[in-house]
Amino acid sequence: MTSGRMSVCVFSNLYPPLVSGSSVNSSALSLELARRGHRLFVITARVDSDTPEYEETDGVAVYRLPAIRLPRLPIALNFPWLSYTFTPGNLRRIDRIFRRRRPDVIHLHNHMFDLSLSAVWARRRFGIPLVITIHTMIRHTRRIYNLLLYPADRVLLRCLVAGNAHTLLCPDFNIIKYVREAFPTARRAFIPYGMDLPDDPAPDHVALLRKRHGLEGKRVILSLGHVHSLRDRRHLISALPAVRRAVPNVAALIVGAETTDAPRKLARELGVQDAVIFAGHAPHEDVPAYLALADLEMHLFVQGDVENTSPGIASMEAMSAGKATMTAANENTFGPGVLRNGRNVILVNPDRPEETASTIVDLLRDDAKRGRIGQAARQMVQENLSWDLVCRKTLEAYQNAIGETCREDPRRSHLSSPAREVDP
């Protein structure tokens, strides 16, 4: 298929209502492609028994496979939604879904969860091209775990998963560098995450959250994202004693599921526990309201050195909402001249808490400066991360994969036929 509607199967272990960066991205991309007339169906894990096995939302069909909920494991950063779905029964379910839906292309999100094995199985069984979005590098804060993860990534996942993909889609240039090292023979394509420019949230919703967390009269540093050992907020909390001396009514509001108690311990050790609010897990629809009540957002997700670090999706959402955003990142993450330190983002050196504290104080005291940076951030998102751009690049990746598959095996000519209308 080189034109017209495509039928796309999305595999993702993480999908709403679960909240994570890859969940947000896989859902948003699916909805955007559906709005453009393509047929999208998602195969995901039914981690929560309260979620339906099948539903259709805004033209995207979602199938949730029975899943065994796994315990939190330190090697997986105590991630709360690990599950196992690679069973004979689920493979039979996928077979039936594929025979009804007849997808033209498979798009897998995340290469390290077990649905990656199901995606590769379907790719081989039906001869359908596979593309994979690499959302994160496989690294740990503890060296002993990296001794296990490194060969699993560079050998096992290379052979079982990445080596079976037509293209690895990379949302930034740091991921491209990682893919080049981990999977050197793989074809790569740079396709950034798409971002909406959000509407203003309802004032009543903002007021409700402000009251719930006791933020009346506070200067709020918001920090979005789950709390784990790679994102433990130590850089923000370490800066708070100096910030509070200059801005006594400051509060750090951390929104995300907690998988480590390290930040709470650090806050108590530094005597700032009353200035740190742990809001816990929140539905994604609350994010615009949290951003609206914040003075700035600070989100550091450091994997190794800063030169290999990218802003998280939460940081990009803050920027799209016009918030001055502090993060640790390579300035060339999205290409030269896109992120501009001090102009549309504030880049932080994680190893200099005094400098971080001084920057926070400067921003909290200068409303006009925060406003200028926030508006420039919003413009950057609009110009470089628009859904028009992201969908166009994604569809090109699909078309290239489909075209090459048909050339290699003419028997796969069904890939050039229109997607069929089907019932669930």
Same domain, 170 and 303: no
CA gap 20, 23 in Å, rounded = 5
Same domain, 88 and 181: yes
Q: What residues contact 383, with CB distance under 8 A and at least 6 apart?
A: none
DSSP state of 418: P
Same domain, 245 and 298: yes
Same domain, 262 and 361: yes
Please check whether residue 114 lies inside any domain of the structure. yes
Please check whether residue 424 lies inside any domain of the structure. no
Alpha carbon 35 to its chain's center: 21
Same domain, 317 and 277: yes
Same domain, 239 and 333: yes
Please check whether residue 50 lies inside any domain of the structure. yes
Alpha carbon 98 to its chain's center: 26
Please check whether residue 1 lies inside any domain of the structure. no
Please check whether residue 422 lies inside any domain of the structure. no
Same domain, 380 and 391: no
Q: Which two tokens stand for residue 400?
A: 């290239």
pLDDT at 149: 65
Please check whether residue 408 lies inside any domain of the structure. yes
Domain that holds residue 174: 7-194+386-416
Q: What residues contact 405, with CB distance under 8 A and at least 6 apart?
A: 127, 128, 129, 166, 412, 415
pLDDT per residue rounded down to tens, the chain (424 residues): 445 789 999 999 999 988 787 888 999 999 999 999 999 999 999 988 899 999 999 999 999 999 988 777 665 555 666 788 999 999 999 999 999 999 999 999 999 889 999 999 999 999 999 999 999 877 656 777 666 766 777 778 888 999 999 999 999 999 999 999 999 999 999 999 999 888 889 999 999 999 999 999 999 999 998 888 778 899 999 999 999 999 999 999 999 988 889 999 999 999 999 999 999 989 889 999 999 999 999 988 766 677 778 888 889 999 999 999 999 888 999 999 999 999 999 999 888 889 999 999 999 999 999 999 999 999 999 999 999 999 999 999 999 999 988 776 655 544 444 444 444 4
**Residue 16 C-beta-side C-alpha neighbours within 13 Å:** 17
Same domain, 290 and 337: yes
Residue length of the chain:
424
Outline where DSSP puts E strands in 7-102. Answer: 7-12, 39-46, 54-57, 60-66, 68-69, 83-84
Same domain, 240 and 162: no
Which of these, 35, 45, 46, 61, lies nearest to 13 by C-alpha position?
A: 45
The pTM for the full model equals 0.85
CA gap 319, 192 in Å, rounded = 15
Same domain, 217 and 190: no
Please check whether residue 96 lies inside any domain of the structure. yes
Same domain, 183 and 207: no
pLDDT at 262: 92
DSSP state of 247: -
The count of domains in the chain is 2
Same domain, 18 and 94: yes
Q: What is the CATH number of the domain that holds 304?
A: 3.40.50.2000
Which H or E run includes 3?
A: none
Please check whether residue 307 lies inside any domain of the structure. yes
CA gap 422, 424 in Å, rounded = 7
